[in-house]
Amino acid sequence: MENKSQEKFLIKGLGGKKVLRGEIPVNGAKNAALKAFAASILFKDDVVLKNVPDIEDIFRVVDILSDVGVRVEKIRNKTFKCNAQNLSKTDLDERMAKCLRASIVLTGPMLARKGKVSFPHPGGCVIGARPVDLFLDGFRKMGASVEEKKGKYVVSAKGGLRGATIFFKNQTVTGTENFMMAGVLAKGKTIIKNAALEPEIEHLAKFLNSCGAEIAGAGTHTIEISGTGGKPLSARGKFYTTMPDRIEAESFLILAALAGKDVKITQCNPEHFESLTEILRDMGVTIKIEKNAVRVLACKNSTLKAMDIKTHEYPGFPTDIQAPMTVLLTQAKGESMVFETIFEGRLNYVEELVRMGADIKTMDTHRIMIKGPKSLKGKKLESPDLRAGLAFVIAGIVAKGQSLIHNVYNIDRGYEKVEERLKEIGVDIERVSSN
Ligand code: EPU
């Protein structure tokens, strides 16, 4: 990990030319697969997970699970087998859990299975405060006691979790997944109100239901789970196949809108990113939706139109694609406003784009104003978080001259060997180490 963090991407920019062409495949979704690993804790037997992306966040969750006694084996390329029969520890290692926010989704399944869990405040991308109050409140509602001891949350539910009605005051993705999984092994009925709608949630529910869970309403704002009263699930004869990563597809779509001559993004589900395709079409991008693919074609004399963007829970415009979108808006004609409504620290990449030549004014911690088009110049950049890191890669490709993106580890957390796939469509990008 330390060596990896010293790797960089060296990009020779296209200086605004639209020349990329070819096909670029989308991998399995990070934010789906991570939750499937957590779900393995609910099972009494082997759970096989397929189409798992080869990314750092997956390696980290495997480390955490192995540390608590879950046997995790990579049995083939992109395929893992997990078995939680010997889950012994209920204390999440502080250093490991702080590496990624998704460590929080292990807590519900562990508490449901073992009646106890302790964990530190989770880490992950620094994009805001990222509180866990909704998790702690939900655990209490399900009959658990919550204490804070030596910087860790210690949660116990002697005799198991009880079904409860949990209303989320903010729609939370990992919160919805966590309590959906906890509810599966709880005693009685759990009702989650104001649940998040992200497609990864329904995908997880379908898999759990195929293995005997009783979850109704996933994909709507009210989810009802009839718990087994502690009896673990069985995955015999069933396996989980990770759905395509909609955020990765959207990132490639934005790159294609900026620098594509004819780019086809394959192995994706275009129904999962309609908010982006609608906006891109309104901006003047030519998009063809195909089955499991989307194609972007450059038009002659096409000038992108400015657009106001407001991030929103699914199916609205995703916060995870806000930074790449800002790069696109620097090339659109006129004034665009970006309003980040979900996280308060997700605009901290803006100064770097300004250094590249973008005209962006920060209005407050949630809003920026972009005037375009402005040509960007290649620079040395430091990837601040996963999604902003990919935004810098896109900016480097569009810019004139050479860019060096430091801290590629942050990009590897969510995008599998992205440079290899980008090369295939004509991007001049190399992974270099510092020495
Ligand atoms: N919130 C609370 N209290 C809580 C939990 C959340 O107030 O206990 C608030 C947050 O502060 C935020 C809002 O609820 O304002 C929504 O946050 P959410 O809980 O939905 O975010 P998350 O579950 O931590 C997941 C993804 C993020 C993605 C967000 C929003 C995973 C592992 N992470 O985070 O993905 O940005 O949903 O869609 O699924 C990424 O992949 O780069 C990433 C950051």
DSSP code of residue 64: H
Which tens digits make up the pLDDT trace of 334-379? Answer: 999 999 999 988 999 999 999 999 999 999 999 999 999 999 999 9
User: What number is the average pLDDT over the span 293-304?
Assistant: 88
- Nearest CA owner, ligand 1 atom 37: 173
Helix, strand, coil % over all residues of the chain, rounded to 5: 35, 30, 35
Beta-sheet strands, E only, within 256-302: 260-266, 286-290, 293-297
Task: Calculate Rg over the CA atoms of the chain.
Answer: 22
Consecutive H or E run containing 378: none
With 0-12 / 13-18 / 19 or more C-beta atoms within 10 angstroms meaning exposed / middle / buried, residue 306 is middle
The percent of residues above 90 in pLDDT, for the chain, comes to 90
The response to whether residue 132 sits with its C-beta less than 6 Å from ligand 1 reads: yes
Cα of 170 from ligand 1 centre, angstroms? 10
Backbone angles phi, psi at 362, to 5 degrees: -85, 120
4 pLDDT tier (thresholds 50, 70, 90): low
239 pLDDT tier (thresholds 50, 70, 90): very high
The response to whether residue 104 sits with its C-beta less than 6 Å from ligand 1 reads: no
**What local confidence, expressed as pLDDT, does residue 126 receive?**
63
Cα of 121 from ligand 1 centre, angstroms? 14
Q: How far is Cα 249 from Cα 272, in angstroms, rounded to an integer?
A: 10
Q: Which ligand 1 atom sits closest to the C-alpha of 313?
A: 38
Q: Which residues have a Cβ under 8 Å from the Cβ of 133 and sit 6 or more positions away? A: none
Q: Which ligand 1 atom sits closest to the C-alpha of 200?
A: 39
The response to whether residue 342 sits with its C-beta less than 6 Å from ligand 1 reads: yes
Tell me whether residue 125 is one of the annotated catalytic residues: yes
Which pair of structure tokens corresponds to residue 205?
């529910």
Cα of 334 from ligand 1 centre, angstroms? 32
- What angle separates helix 246-259 from helix 274-283, to the nearest 10 degrees? 10
Strand duo 116-120 + 165-167: pairing: unpaired
Q: How far is Cα 103 from Cα 97, in angstroms, rounded to an integer?
A: 5
Nearest residue to 372 (alpha-carbon basis) of 409, 335, 414: 335
pTM (two decimals): 0.96
**What local confidence, expressed as pLDDT, does residue 1 receive?**
47
Q: How far is Cα 112 from Cα 156, in angstroms, rounded to an integer?
A: 10
Q: Judge whether 366 and 343 are in contact, CB under 8 Å.
A: no
**What local confidence, expressed as pLDDT, does residue 104 receive?**
95
Q: Which ligand 1 atom sits closest to the C-alpha of 174?
A: 23
Catalytic residue among 82, 99, 125, 211: 125
Mean pLDDT of the chain: 95
Give the residue carrying structure tokens 């084996």.
73
| Cβ-defined contacts of 309-312 (< 8 Å, 24+) | 309/279, 309/336, 309/337, 309/338, 309/339, 310/339, 310/341, 311/339, 311/340, 311/341, 311/342, 312/275, 312/341, 312/342
Nearest residue to 399 (alpha-carbon basis) of 421, 424, 428: 428
**What local confidence, expressed as pLDDT, does residue 131 receive?**
87
User: What number is the average pLDDT over the span 137-153?
Assistant: 94
Burial 117-132 (b: 16+ CB within 10 A, else e): bbbbbbbbbebeebeb
**What local confidence, expressed as pLDDT, does residue 200 receive?**
98
Q: Judge whether 295 and 262 are in contact, CB under 8 Å.
A: yes
Which tens digits make up the pLDDT trace of 42-93? Answer: 999 999 999 999 999 999 999 999 999 999 999 999 999 999 999 989 999 9
- For 219, other C-beta atoms within 10 Å of its C-beta total 16
Beta-sheet strands, E only, within 201-330: 214-216, 222-226, 239-241, 260-266, 286-290, 293-297, 309-310
Cα 233 to its chain centre, rounded Å, is 26
125 pLDDT tier (thresholds 50, 70, 90): low
- Nearest CA owner, ligand 1 atom 11: 130
The response to whether residue 323 sits with its C-beta less than 6 Å from ligand 1 reads: no
Nearest residue to 327 (alpha-carbon basis) of 380, 259, 234: 259
- The phi-psi region of residue 267 (left if phi > 0; otherwise alpha if psi is between -120 and 50; otherwise beta) is left
Q: Which ligand 1 atom sits closest to the C-alpha of 132?
A: 8
Question: Residue 5 above 90 pLDDT?
Answer: no
- Nearest CA owner, ligand 1 atom 32: 102
The response to whether residue 336 sits with its C-beta less than 6 Å from ligand 1 reads: no
User: What number is the average pLDDT over the span 258-283?
Assistant: 97
Backbone angles phi, psi at 17, to 5 degrees: -75, 145
